[in-house]
Structure 1
């Protein structure tokens, strides 16, 4: 990890929702931030850009939903395209992170904390983004 990386924003890419989390490399902290609505995988770019302006991340992390055997899926190809678009629009470094089971784990953790399972009304995508961010931090920061 480059020393200039202090703030990291992570995305749990989906076709109808994109979870967002933010983290601080120096402190090792993370928090869920928002769930952006998407239409066929396209977010409202202005809302996303507003988050970028507010939080000013040094690097963006996008979860790559690989198949359980590690091969690329149709959704992972779209997540990679989303990552390329982020880089092209914002000029920030984008890192892809294996996110197998992050949504499953986010749902499991939420149910343990009393979530009733209505993920349309109470999405957990930002929690999944936080798990993706924690994976990236564990792989890219020295403790």
Structure 2
């Protein structure tokens, strides 16, 4: 297992929540929200993150219906995960994010970074060793 930073994402078409975590401490923290309304703004923001933090892996939340079946955003998040793999040639771990946004304060205007933090922390909690 490589020691280093893992970046977690809560993908959305308007905003992408970002969290950072460390493989040594296995703790996630909310970091920022990236504007995702255009492809250019999305990848400019992600490229800047990768340059700044030099991650060893990514974690992407994959939404599903409560019964586990896919819905429209499932495919979009899977595509985003594949694009991360193709662009950065780093491992991308996928986590079921069914309830991540429901866990954070639903009255907050923008909860995407908090949701990303929950997704990344769930990855650390469920992993006996980080796959990087």
Same fold (TM > 0.5): yes
**Map of 2:112 onto structure 1:** 125
Match of 2:13 among 15, 18, 21: 15
- Over 3 Å counting, the alpha-carbon distance change for 1:30 and 1:87 in structure 2 is same
State the 1:96 CA deviation. Answer: 0.8
Q: Is the 8 A contact 2:27 2:124 kept in 1?
A: no
Query: 1:140 corresponds to which residue?
Result: 127
Take 2:63 and 2:56, find their aligned partners in 1: how far apart are those partners?
23
Once residues 41 and 16 of structure 1 are traced to their aligned partners in structure 2, the CA distance between those partners, rounded to angstroms, is: 10
Matching of residues 59-98 of structure 1 within 5 Å? 59-98=57-96
Gaps of 5+ in 1: 109-116
The structure 1 segments of at least 4 consecutive aligned residues displaced by more than 4 Å after TM superposition are 40-43
Secondary structure at the aligned position of 2:104 is classed as helix
Query: What is residue 39 of structure 1 aligned with on the other side?
Result: 37
Larger Rg belongs to: 1
Equivalenced residues, count: 129
User: SS state of the match for residue 39, structure 1?
Assistant: coil
Q: Where does the alignment leave 5 or more consecutive residues of structure 2 unmatched?
A: none
The root-mean-square deviation of aligned C-alpha atoms, in Å, is 1.7
Q: Give the TM-score, by structure 1 length.
A: 0.83
Structure 2 length normalisation: TM-score?
A: 0.90
